[in-house]
Structure 1
Amino acid sequence: MTVVTNEKKFDRFWTVTAGSLSLLALVFTIIALRTSSWTINEYSSDGEVQWHGLFYTCNRMKCTLEYDNNFWVIFLTILSALLLLLATIMIFLMGVHSFPRRHFYITPLIEFFGVLLLLVSLVLYARQSLINGISARLIITAIVLGYTSLAIVVFVAGRYSIFYKKNPADFHYSKTEKNEAVKRVEEEQAMERGEN
């Protein structure tokens, strides 16, 4: 009997929470990548409202394909989305598979680089244009969710690193000695079984 039985549930709860936040950040990144409302220009020279995205520049009449100005932003956003996808998969695997627990440093690194590249892509876009559209707000929300998920993943990975050092066979810390309360309960259960 292991005394520390709730530790697995605690780690799995935080793993699912971090994975959900990372998945939500990934969904927001994909939505922001595909929509064309990063910059909204209501005061253009011709009096038309214009929407600028990573791929298109739109007004009320038409959308024109214009991605050559934002090549590095598009590249970094797609790369960060791929890293966030990989990090999300690794986070969910931390709860059920031993490889991410054994190599506890890989998942936080992937999550960190994914969110860092997302932040760099937002800074590169903000250097050349305003970020007042809903897609830019989605990217900012994805960055906040990603860093929150990163903090939780680092906490869980730190716990797994301690578990690995103490018990490398199971990757979970289990107490071998029992305290007196557990011994007393087991003795009472043994006495009840003996009477029946």
Structure 2
Amino acid sequence: MSAELIVGEDGRVRPVWAAHDPLLRDYYDHEWGAPVTDERGLYERLCLEAFQSGLSWATILRKRPAFRRAFAGFDVDRVARFGPADVERLLTDASIVRNRRKIEAAVTNARATRALRDRGGLPRLVWSFLPPAGPRPASMAEIPTRSPQSEALARALRAEGFVFVGPTTMYAMMQAIGMVDDRLEGADGLIEAPGEPGDAAFC
């Protein structure tokens, strides 16, 4: 078996990055790679991937409950109505990532998401860039950080007014929401679909 895979105490095979931290292990087992096809779930993933830029994903997962409280459960309509006072309020919230550009991006992207509804909506746009299925990678070195589809998706989102949606960030989101299967060959798959509202149907 690859040195990049570890057999856990439960007998499941996971990549090294998901083998030790209980939070990452649970995320890998139950969520990473599960299809996300609803508006709120995709909007939340867009926001979390943007906040993750420059930080570890474990940090974002630990702060996710706080992000959900701060951004009204990632309700698109409610966040789209946030104004300057809300941005300033969030900048004082130590439980989230206090970055003005990222907070403002969440508001901008909520408004852009709302504007897409009369043209099929965010899920239709995102999933229109679904790449053809390919073989699972044999090693981490085979996993790209971007793809032609993530580059095209980033361009399409920027054209619709979205921000913080670069091709690398979009590729990470595509992995997380099940658009590409980058689980290493030999690793176990999802145990079950996520159970939280917006998890499977919610990144």
As a proportion of its length, which structure holds more helix?
1
Instruction: Answer whether TM exceeds 0.5 for this pair.
Output: no
Instruction: Give TM-score scaled by structure 1 length.
Output: 0.27
Q: Which has the larger radius of gyration?
A: 1
Instruction: Give TM-score scaled by structure 2 length.
Output: 0.26
Higher relative contact order (CA 8 A, sep 6+): 2
